[in-house]
Each structure stands twice: as structure tokens, then as C-alpha cells.
């Protein structure tokens, strides 16, 4: 089962490699990873999506807790949370397909961030389903390149 784990860490060099090394050293796979500062510049948040049965996830979270630079670990999966991903996607835009591509983008409320004679680059944010749906719809037009941020997540206030 997929788990979204939110890890609050000290914003120091080497911390990310400790977190990631803990996964690789124990043979746990990471599906996606994102990291950035929080409102406090001394603290960063890492969001990791990983897979495993309950026993493995329990071990992962306990091991993460043990790292000295890790302040807090929350497995968001069973909690109420929102998550988003951002994707930049460059789509071929043949003359007769342009209107259709732009219409799809509008439906997904994406932004056009770059235009060239033969392509559009869109910025789309959303949860995983939305991103996947967008990708599926523009794929037939020819996708030249894709860059995804990986998931960021935050718990909801009750």
C-alpha cells in the first residue's frame, strides 16, 4: 500500500542524504520525494511517498525518528491531508491540434509557461489523479518532455 510520509527536519546539508540513505540502505523504495523549507528557514519538510506493508512502514517511520536531525515524522496516509504535485510538460503542437490542446489545458486550469512555434509548455498542479489524467489526454499529441516535482503534502485542520 502507498504511504505518504511527512518528515520535518533540520535544514542542514547532509540531512536529505541521511533520510534517503536510510531508505536505500534498507531496501525500501521511494516512489516520490520532495523537499523544501518551511515557514521557519531552519526547518525543512520532506514528503516521501513509499510503498510497503504495515510492518515495513512502521520500521521506516521508527528508523526515521531515530535520525538526530529529524524533528517529526507523520504517516499522513490514515489522516486527513491534502497533497499536490506540480508538473511541467512540453507538448508538440501541430497547427490543427493547437485549439484542442489549449482546450484541454483550460479544463485542467493549467498555465501556459512557454510557447514555441511547435510546442506549448504547461504548468499543471493537482493531486496525482488530475496529473495522470492530464498526461493521458495530451499524450496523443506527442509529449516532448516532462518534469514532475513529486508530491508535497500537508495535514488538514480539523
Q: Which residues bind another protein (CB under 8 A)?
A: 9-10, 13-14, 17-18, 21, 25, 55, 58-59, 62-63, 65-71
- Cβ nearer to another protein, comparing 58 with 127: 58
How far, in Å, CA of 49 to CA of 91, rounded? 27
Nearest-approach distance from CB 133 to another protein, in angstroms: 39
Nearest-approach distance from CB 73 to another protein, in angstroms: 10
What's the Cα-to-Cα distance from 106 to each of 92, 110, 138, 141, rounded to whole Å?
A: 17, 6, 12, 16
- φ and ψ of 15, to 5 deg: -70, -45
- Cβ nearer to another protein, comparing 25 with 117: 25
- Cβ nearer to another protein, comparing 46 with 101: 46
Q: Please, are residues 50 and 28 in contact by the beta-carbon 8 Å criterion?
A: yes
Amino acid at each position: 500500500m502507498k504511504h505518504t510520509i511527512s518528515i520535518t527536519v533540520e535544514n542542514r546539508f547532509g540531512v536529505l542524504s541521511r533520510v534517503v540513505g536510510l531508505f536505500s540502505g534498507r531496501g525500501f523504495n521511494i516512489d516520490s520525494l520532495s523537499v523544501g523549507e518551511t515557514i521557519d528557514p531552519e526547518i525543512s519538510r520532506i514528503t516521501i511517498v513509499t510503498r510497503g506493508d504495515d510492518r515495513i512502514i512502521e520500521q521506516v517511520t521508527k528508523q526515521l525518528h531515530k535520525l538526530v536531525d529529524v524533528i517529526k515524522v507523520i504517516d499522513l496516509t490514515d489522516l486527513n491531508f491534502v497533497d499536490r504535485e506540480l508538473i511541467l510538460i512540453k507538448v508538440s503542437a501541430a497547427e490543427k491540434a493547437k485549439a484542442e490542446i489549449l482546450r484541454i489545458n483550460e479544463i485542467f486550469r493549467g498555465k501556459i509557461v512557454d510557447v514555441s512555434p511547435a510546442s506549448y509548455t504547461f504548468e499543471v498542479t493537482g493531486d496525482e489523479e488530475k496529473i495522470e489524467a492530464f498526461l493521458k489526454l495530451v499524450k496523443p499529441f506527442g509529449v516532448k518532455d516532462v518534469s514532475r516535482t513529486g508530491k508535497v503534502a500537508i495535514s488538514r485542520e480539523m
